[in-house]
């Protein structure tokens, strides 16, 4: 019997190693391939978001990642008292799978209300804002990862947001850590508002309302203090710093309740900073901020 001629290529069947599920026979005029074609043969694919890994055509391996939430709380205190503000790791997923993890945080707030103390980093000033660069190590998945200690002060407002501007982790692997930041707030206690002025104690007496103001504000070497006591008696007005320490006596005498008084004050020996004029009458205490710029 005559044997038909067969080309060299047609004498072989190409059988691939099966590296995936499914598949069928693939043919051409000269070749036959049994089973699925290797994923390596098809080629590797890398997703553009870099979360996938190039290990095959039909699936991706997800990189390990972590999701965490850090926050600052809402706190309140009276002027002159010590305030401890914790930086809290509120929630985390697989954050510390390889042990403690270093971090860096950038926190912003009104520095006229809070003065860092007891090892808390010093302020980097941007106007009235204090910016803190805080570094530390998280050693557990949930809990306090840093404590910031301050002295509450009489500032140019009664509250301030505590803003986590930046938060960065330093893992020793290549994973991505998604961090949600929740901001806090500090409130100075014992303060009530009356127009543009802060009043520490409200007067229950009738008649003329006590007033206190300073012009110009900010001031440099000289300021005019204008006030109405609101009641007859001894009135004392002093200039204090943010911690309540007395820097100068402006008025200390008996006055009439309904009369407007103006007093000039020499500020040439007062350092630049945020201060307060505090007026005390027999029943009322009033304050107003004064900025000194030398």
Q: Within 13 Å of residue 10, how many CA atoms lie on the same side as its CB?
A: 7
Is there a shared CATH topology between the 65-188 domain and the 193-292 domain?
yes
Q: How far apart are CA 42 and CA 23, in angstroms?
A: 13
- Which residue's structure tokens are 């200390």? 252
DSSP 62: P
Q: Is 279 exposed, middle or buried (0-12, 13-18, 19+ CB in 10 A)?
A: buried
Q: How would you classify the pairing of strands 65-71 and 176-182? A: parallel
Per DSSP bridges, beta strands 32-34 and 101-110 are unpaired
Alpha helices in 81-234 (DSSP H): none
Domain 193-292: give its CATH code. Answer: 2.60.40.2550
Confidence (pLDDT) at 120: 95
Both structure tokens of 62: 């997800």
- The residue with greater pLDDT, 154 or 273, is 273
* Strand 82-93 to 101-110 pairing: unpaired
Phi, psi of 256, rounded to the nearest 5 degrees? -85, 150
Residue with structure tokens 């043969």?
A: 41
Q: How far apart are CA 184 and CA 109, in angstroms?
A: 10
Q: Which residues pair with 164 in a beta bridge?
A: 107
Enter the DSSP assignment of 40. H
Helix (H) or strand (E) run with residue 198 in it: strand 197-201
Among 255, 209, 202, smallest CA distance to 230 is for 209
Per-residue pLDDT for 246 more than 50? Answer: yes
Whether 230 has a pLDDT exceeding 80, the answer reads yes
Q: What is the mean pLDDT of residues 173-184?
A: 92
What is 65-188's CATH number? Answer: 2.60.40.680
What's the pTM? 0.53
Q: How far is CA 243 from CA 55, 114, 116, 240, in A?
A: 63, 10, 12, 8
Confidence class of residue 252 from pLDDT cuts 50, 70 and 90?
A: very high
Render the burial of 234-255: b for 16+ CB within 10 Å, e for the rest: ebebbbbbbeeeebeebbeeeb
Structural domain boundaries of the chain?
Answer: 28-61, 65-188, 193-292
Query: What is the pairing mode between strands 246-255 and 285-292?
Result: unpaired
> Where is average pLDDT lowest: 48-57, 84-93, 193-202?
48-57
- If 0-12 CB within 10 Å is exposed, 13-18 middle and 19+ buried, where does residue 265 land? buried
pLDDT band (50, 70, 90) for residue 20: very low
Beta strands in 50-100 (DSSP E): 65-71, 74-77, 82-93
CA distance linking residue 135 with residue 167, whole number of Å = 10
Q: Is the pLDDT of residue 51 over 70?
A: no
Provide the token pair at 21. Answer: 């599920």
């Amino acid at each position: 019997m005559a044997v038909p001629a067969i080309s060299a290529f047609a004498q072989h069947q190409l059988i691939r190693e099966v590296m995936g599920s499914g598949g069928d026979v693939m043919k051409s005029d000269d070749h036959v391939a049994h089973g699925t074609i290797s994923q390596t043969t098809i080629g590797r694919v890398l997703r553009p978001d870099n979360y996938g890994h190039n290990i095959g055509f039909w699936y991706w391996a997800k990189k390990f990642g972590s999701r965490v939430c850090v926050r600052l709380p809402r706190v309140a205190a009276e002027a002159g008292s010590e305030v401890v503000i914790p930086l809290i790791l509120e929630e985390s997923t697989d954050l510390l799978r390889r042990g403690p993890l270093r971090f860096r945080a950038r926190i912003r707030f009104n520095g006229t209300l809070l003065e860092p103390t007891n090892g808390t980093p010093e302020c980097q000033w941007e106007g009235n804002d204090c910016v803190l660069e805080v570094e530390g190590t998280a050693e557990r998945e949930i809990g306090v990862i840093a404590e910031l200690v301050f002295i509450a002060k009489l500032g140019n407002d009664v509250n301030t947001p505590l803003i986590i501007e930046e938060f960065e982790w330093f893992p020793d692997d290549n994973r991505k850590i998604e961090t949600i930041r929740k901001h806090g707030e500090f409130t100075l206690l014992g303060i009530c508002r009356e127009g543009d002025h802060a009043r520490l104690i409200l007067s229950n007496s009738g008649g003329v309302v006590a007033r206190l103001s300073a012009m110009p504000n900010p001031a440099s070497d000289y300021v005019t203090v204008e006030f109405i006591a609101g009641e007859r008696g001894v009135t004392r007005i002093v200039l204090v710093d943010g911690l309540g320490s007395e820097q100068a006596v402006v008025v200390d005498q008996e006055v009439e309740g309904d009369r407007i008084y103006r007093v000039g004050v020499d500020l040439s020996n007062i350092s630049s900073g945020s201060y307060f004029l505090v007026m005390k009458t027999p029943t009322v205490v009033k304050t107003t901020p004064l900025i000194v710029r030398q």
